[in-house]
Each structure stands twice: as structure tokens, then as C-alpha cells.
Amino acid sequence: MAVKTALSPRAVTEQSRERLWDAVTLLALTALATALRVYGLAWGLPDASKVHSYHPDEITVLAPTLAMNLFAGEMNPHFFNYGSLFLYAVYFARLIAEGYGWLDLTPLLRALSQAGWLGVALSPTALHEFAKLHLFARGLTVACGVATVWLVFFWARRVYGRGAATLAAFLLASFPLHVQHSHFATVDVPLALLTTLALYLAVTAEDNGRRMAMASFVAGLATAVKYSVAPALWLTLLLLWTWRISFRLRLRRLVALTALMAAGFLLGCPYAVLDFPSFWRDFYWETFVHSRIGHGYVFANTGNGHWFHLSVNLPAAIGLPALAAALLGGIAVALGAIGNPNGLVRRTAVVTLVFALAYFVPLGFAQVRFARYLMPLLPVAALWAGALWAMLAQRPGKLVAIGRWLWRMALIAVALFTFLCGIATAHLFAPPDPRDATAEWFRAFAEKWRTQTSERMAGAEQLIVALHDLPWFYTPPICPLNGGKKTESAFWSWQMTAPVRFVFIGDSLDDLLRARPHLFIASDYEYGDRLRLRLRDSQLLYRWLARFPSRTFRKDPTLPLLGKPFRWSPKPLPHDMRYVNPTVKVFLLRDGENERLGER
């Protein structure tokens, strides 16, 4: 029988002090991560001026939950471009909120059933409750983001020590992409949480088959949030669990890993089997079609996908200094594992390196290159950067001590710069949004225009506004039906009695001239890629528009109180990091005095 050795009073005191410091550090990191993610959480919510939020994917997540009814046995989301697990999490959060009286979606559901999105636009109560549903869903994402910071701290603490853990967690808490997307009711931050949990369980499993089974099951849950992570997780866990064992045992573990991942996936996405035709339709499109044909003009002619992620997305996602630290840390983690007797160090190196390569390499071949697709790699990047803190830790000598001090000062500087990036990112959520500023200017212009003549005051003449296409997330809220194709039928019903007439011209200058609008309004989401690609019609249109007076509404990342632009990436923010600050241009074509519109 093994005899347990009692710890000395001094050792007990030291252990208690260590735990206290860990608790204090984690509490401070939690406060920091939460503050950066809660600040501005009410940004762009539905209100009387818009039925959908300013994030184009939030309605994609929330709409299926409105049709779910656990008590009627209707839990099919009828949407499988993503997995269903986060949608279910939002639905059950909604149930709890309704049960406690914090939320009442009855007005929203009634308005939708009676008059669709137009009914919602006309119901202040429905809009208020819909905005609250967004907030509850965003709250879930905030919790997932903060929990991921915790996981990175525990992982790095166990492998590299408290200093490395503090640095790694601090960096993840401050990464601009993680801060920004933790504000959204979308799937990417929850995906990063479950992916990190699966990897952490695998690293700490050692020879514990039950813990490895848990890692496999959690990997299945991560796949039920978003499918793209499945191959990399499966390969990573397979390599770790079947290394240097007999063929028969390797085969058994392969089957067990696959079965447990499938079980986790089906728990989170059961209608992948129960409604297989719908699942396969959306899964096939997202996995095999969308990734091949691209996303319209957005990523056309952007070169090599791997280089695009490395040169555009990652510097914006975490900042150049943190990216350099993460890459250097990855090399240090790999080299430090060679011949290291510590199994946790070796397993961390294997798991993080294999996963990062298995996830990043296929990602670079896809024609859709959103920055948010890198989200599962951010905890790994933070862990690698944090591991640099432990370099030179055990080596004696005065010169080594001086070098260690300078090295850590450099890492602290990287962390502080990244923190400023996180602050600037969070500050983008503070009002005014460029779209709201545009709408405020438009209302003043419309009122001035209306009162210029008695005919206009009587409604005999309408103000005409030209847009590229249907109002969507990037359009100023001068029309409440801002869901693009999702609210198209409601828009045309609204347009019949609206005080403003909208015309949609695409990129056609001829259509613009025929419509004779007073204003032309466009966002950089509409004209940016068209002009970058030098599309002929777009160039002709904007060269012609350049003759007219215009107003530009934009918002650059800034630090609070300073008011000066703060940039952390050599290139402009990627497409899906500009949802909070699109640039909007308004061209004044006719205002009663300027009648040059007919000239070409």
C-alpha cells in the first residue's frame, strides 16, 4: 500500500499562497476580459429604425430559434450551414429568460405570423423584445469568450507556470478579433471555446482513457457548432491517442475516437440524421461549394490564401507584435519539447502544432477567407506567446538574469500594445455608428428638403434615394427593413406608403440617370471591392458621382479620450472586422437647386 507523505507546514503555506495568487490573477483577468467584451454590447440592436441588427449573421443564428418549440417537439432548426449546438444554446437561454419573466417574445412572434418583418417594424414592443433576445444571445458569446481565457490560463499554468499563464490569458483577453466577435451572437467564439477544451483535455489525459474519451466527445460538440474544425481535431486526437501502440489497439482507439466524436456531434446536431436531406443540402453548399466559388467580389484576386491570412487577417486579428511572439513561441514550444522529460510539455507541443497545421493548411486553400475563420487558432497563438515567458527561467548566471529581465520586459510591452488594440477594438462599439450618423444627417436633410416648397409639404413630390441594392446591414437605417433578401417582400410592402422612394441601380449609371434621385448612398461594403477589382461599370459610376458634393461618414479605431486613429495592422481591417465601422458615402445629386443630374 502506498503511503502518503504529509506536507510540512511551510509547504502547506506555500501551496496556499500559490493558490491565492492564482485566484487573484484569474479574477483580474476575468474582470479585464469581461469589461472588454461587455462594453458596447448593445451596439446595433434592432429598434424602430431597423428590424435586424447591424451584424449580418446574427439573424441567421436567431431566426431558427424563433421557430423552435421544445414542448411541441419542434426542434429542427431547418438551417445547417452551421451546426445546431449554439442555436440550441440560444433557444434554451431564451426559455430560461422567458421562464423568469425577463423576456416575452409573444409580441414578436405574433407580429411575424401576422405581417412578417413589416409587422415587426411597426411594433415597438416586438422590436424591444427582439433586441433583448439579441442581448441574451450575445451574453452567451461573452461567457464563451471569458471561459476560453480561463482555459488558456489553466492550460499554460499547468505546463509553463503562472507567469506564462498570465501572459497567455492576458493576450487572448485582449486580441482584437476575439474581443470584437465576443460581442456578436455568432458561432465563432463558442467554437474556439469547445475546440480549446477538447485540446486541453487531450493534453492533460496522459494515459487516462476516460479523459481522452471526454476530449473526443467535446471535439464532436465543437463540430456541432461549426463543421470546419472536425478534420483538424480528429487528426490531432488520433495522432495523440494512437502514437507508438500496437496495430490492434490503434484500430480500437480509432473506432472509439470516431464514435465518440460522432456522438458529441449528434447530441449537438441531431437533425443531421433526423432531417438528413436538409442537412446535406446546407452542409454540401457550405463545405464544397461556397469555399470553392468564393464570396462574391470580397476575396476575388486576393492572391494566395495562406499568405492572405498571414499578412492581412492575422495582423488585424491579434496585432503584429503578438503575431511575431506567437510564431516565435510556436518554434520555442516545438524545440523545447525535444527530449523534454515533462510529458505535459511534449503533449502540448504535439497537440498545438498538429492542430494548428491541420487547421490552417486546408483553410488557406479555400476561396472564402474571413478573419473569423482563424478564431480556433487564437487560443493556441496566445498559449505559444505565453510560453516565451518561461524561456531562460531555469538558467543561472548574472548575464542570463539580465537577459531574462530584458526578454520579459519586451513581452510585457507586447502585451500592453495588444491591450491597447483590444481597447481600440472595444471602443468602436461606442456610439455613434457611421450608419446612425448618416441616418441623422439624412433626417435633417429630408426635413429641409420637404419644407422648401408647398408641393413637397403636401406630399405631391417624393424624395428619391438611390442605392446599389436592397437595404442590408451596411445601409444607414433610413428604411427599417434592412435584412437584404430576408426582408425583400416586406420592403416592397413598406415602400408603397413610405415618404421616401428608393431606387436600386446596381452599378448602372444609365439606371441612375433615368431615376433622377436626389441622393445616392453607398457603403464601402458595396463599392470597395468593385473599385479594387476595377470593374468597368463601377468605375464609370463613381467617376461620374465624383463631380457632385458628397458627405463621408466613417469611424476609425481610436483610444478613449485621445480621439486619434490607432492602427495595429499595416493593412485595413478585414471584411468581417469592419461590421462595426463601415464607411458610408452620400452624394447630393439634386437638392432643388442642383439640376446637373441629366448630364453624363
Greater confidence (529 vs 19) lies with: 529
User: Of 575, 561, 555, 324, which Cα lies nearest the Cα of 420?
Assistant: 561
Residues 6+ apart with CB under 8 A from 383: 152, 155, 156, 168, 329, 348, 352
How many whole angstroms separate alpha carbon 483 and alpha carbon 542?
Answer: 25
DSSP 185-218: SSSHHHHHHHHHHHHHHHHTTTT-HHHHHHHHHH
Q: Is the pLDDT of residue 118 over 60?
A: yes
DSSP 480-515: S---GGGGHHHHHHHHTT-SEEEEE-TT-HHHHHHH
Residue 2: per-residue pLDDT: 46
Going from the C-alpha of 214 to that of each of 94, 144, 348, the distances in angstroms are 28, 19, 17
Q: What are phi and psi of 452, to 5 degrees?
A: -75, -35
339-370 per-position pLDDT tens digit: 888 999 999 999 999 999 999 999 999 999 99
**HSE-up (13 A, CA, CB side) for residue 218:** 20
How many whole angstroms separate alpha carbon 163 and alpha carbon 165?
Answer: 5
**HSE-up (13 A, CA, CB side) for residue 206:** 5
167-224 per-position pLDDT tens digit: 999 999 999 999 999 999 999 999 999 999 999 999 999 878 899 999 999 999 999 9
Cell numbers given for 290: 461556397
Residue range 122-145: average pLDDT?
98
Which contiguous run of DSSP H or E holds residue 228?
none
Q: Is the pLDDT of residue 328 over 60?
A: yes
Residue range 314-330: average pLDDT?
97
275-297 per-position pLDDT tens digit: 999 999 999 999 999 999 999 99
Greater confidence (597 vs 230) lies with: 230
Are the C-beta atoms of 505 and 559 separated by less than 8 Å?
no
Residue range 85-110: average pLDDT?
97
* Strand blocks (E) in 349-499: 463-467
Residue 595: per-residue pLDDT: 53
Residues 6+ apart with CB under 8 A from 213: 256, 260
Q: What percent of the chain has pLDDT over 70?
A: 95
How many whole angstroms separate alpha carbon 491 and alpha carbon 122?
Answer: 12
User: Of 404, 332, 397, which Cα lies nearest the Cα of 163?
Assistant: 404
416-447 per-position pLDDT tens digit: 999 999 999 999 999 999 999 999 999 999 99
Q: State yes or no: cis peptide before 432, omega within 30 of 0.
A: yes
Q: Is the pLDDT of residue 560 over 80?
A: yes
* Terminal-residue alpha carbon distance, the chain: 96
Q: Is 15 exposed, middle or buried (0-12, 13-18, 19+ CB in 10 A)?
A: exposed
Are the C-beta atoms of 589 and 519 separated by less than 8 Å?
yes
CA torsion angle 86 91 95 97 (round to 10): 70
149-166 per-position pLDDT tens digit: 999 999 999 999 999 999
* Secondary structure (3-state) at 273: helix
Looking at residue 12, its amino acid is V
Residue 209: per-residue pLDDT: 84
Q: Which residue has the cell 458569446?
A: 141
Q: Is the pLDDT of residue 592 over 60?
A: no
pTM of the model: 0.94
